[in-house]
Amino acid sequence: MTKRREMLRHGVAGASAAAAMVAGAPVRAQAPDQAQIRWRMTSSYPKSLDVVYGAGEIFGRTLADMTKGRIQIQHFAAGEIVGGLQALDAVQNGTVECCDTATFYYIGKDPTFAFAAAVPFGLNTRQQNAWLFQAGGLDLVNELFARYNVVGLPIGNTNTQMAGWFRREIKGVEDLQGLKMRIGGLAGQVIAKLGAVPQQIPAGDVYPALEKGTIDAAEWVGPYDDEKLGFYKIAPYYYYPGWWEGASAIFLLVNKGKWDELSPEDQALVRAAAHEANTLTIAKYDQVNPGAIRRLVAAGVQLRPFPAPLMDACYKAASEVYEELSAGNPLFKRVHDHMMAFRGEQYLWQQVAEYTFESFMIRARARG
């Protein structure tokens, strides 16, 4: 790890020097009187969820390493400064300089926030990264963020999520009638169309709600996190896929005034640290989920796919939600249309190579 951090420091310094030489400018060493920067970052996640909370940890550690401690981010778990669902407000009003969060927690302010986290039947992780970093998606969501006095950068992704934990078996759409479910983002509006009752509850409160019967089902992330939260002890049926989160980005939100105070060089360092956190968090979830799903099944969890008719009904309901929201929110419509056009092109390509290769490998594994 030490060697990796040294490479990061030297790599950023080398890139800066190379850029200066190409531009014909003299290479400048770090000025001894450069401003020390000390920020506080509040999280929407508890420390016990070490991967999703860890995205903020990686970001802060990488930034400190690259600047030899000149820039330091003090990271606080949900509830230590403000509640997990108040992270955006805390950054917007300057209580803290930045936060790590899932922006779909704030769809009550504007449903467009969902596109920077996850939307039903949206993008997978690679597609979401491509949309944000290459296709203009990040500029679009920052257009929204600017209205709330923040600047945003992705610092992680949970990858495709599970559909969650249910007390009873789900055989069809009729089983959603009256079902009280903890579910995030626009997915709540989709399942409400099918008779369910969505609840938005922070991570730390989900288990007690499930245990007391306040809710009948709950989704969080995937096997590794869900095992830690212990949902399998109460709700034995574990469904997939989480069609509302084909990918789910974790975002760094920075107070706009504090961002503007940074020099262009420091802004570049923040972006580099965010990219490091994004890459490592995605890789970590891919590493830890296989072992967790094995352990859960061994413990007696009933692993089930959603029935195809239910998936079709949810897809139709999601399309209706998008149409309704687009009718009254021009920015939502613009971001939605942009993302969905990108999604269509991505699957046109991925069905040729990615899907064919992965389908073959899955069948080959099953044959042993």
Q: Could you report the per-residue pLDDT of 109-122, keeping only the tens digit for each?
A: 999 999 999 999 99
- pLDDT value, residue 18: 38
The answer to whether 238 and 296 have CB atoms below 8 angstroms apart is: yes
- pLDDT value, residue 142: 98
The two three-digit tokens of residue 209, written as one number: 């709600």
pLDDT at 32 over 70: no
The two three-digit tokens of residue 35, written as one number: 């401003």
Mean pLDDT taken over the chain? 92
Indicate whether 263 belongs to any domain. Answer: yes
Indicate whether 179 belongs to any domain. Answer: no
The answer to whether 128 and 282 have CB atoms below 8 angstroms apart is: no
Cα 169 to Cα 117, 272, 297, 307, distances in angstroms: 28, 45, 16, 11
pLDDT at 6 over 90: no
Q: What burial letters (b/e) apply to 166-201, b meaning 16+ CB within 10 Å?
A: beeebeebebbeebbbbbbbbbbbbbbbbebbbbeb
Indicate whether 206 belongs to any domain. Answer: no
The answer to whether 219 and 163 have CB atoms below 8 angstroms apart is: yes
Mean pLDDT of 86-107: 98
pTM, two decimal places:
0.90
Nearest to residue 162, comparing CAs of 309, 302, 359?
A: 302
CA distance 180 to 101: 24
CA distance 110 to 59: 27
pLDDT at 322 over 80: yes
Q: Distance from CA of residue 252 to its chain's centroid?
A: 10
* Confidence band for 26, pLDDT divided at 50, 70 and 90: very low
* Confidence band for 360, pLDDT divided at 50, 70 and 90: very high
CA distance 248 to 157: 5
Q: Distance from CA of residue 55 to its chain's centroid?
A: 10
- Match 């778990």 to its residue by tokens: 77
Assign residue 61 a region: left if phi > 0, alpha if psi is -120 to 50, beta otherwise? alpha
Indicate whether 112 belongs to any domain. Answer: yes
- pLDDT value, residue 368: 87
pLDDT at 1 over 90: no
Indicate whether 191 belongs to any domain. Answer: no
- pLDDT value, residue 33: 54
Query: Residue 281 is part of which domain span?
Result: 2-11+35-157+247-287
- Assign residue 79 the CATH number of its domain: 3.40.190.170
Indicate whether 73 belongs to any domain. Answer: yes
Indicate whether 61 belongs to any domain. Answer: yes
Cα 345 to Cα 35, 342, 350, distances in angstroms: 45, 5, 9
Mean pLDDT of 40-46: 97
pLDDT at 176 over 90: yes
pLDDT at 189 over 60: yes
Number of folded domains in the chain?
Answer: 1
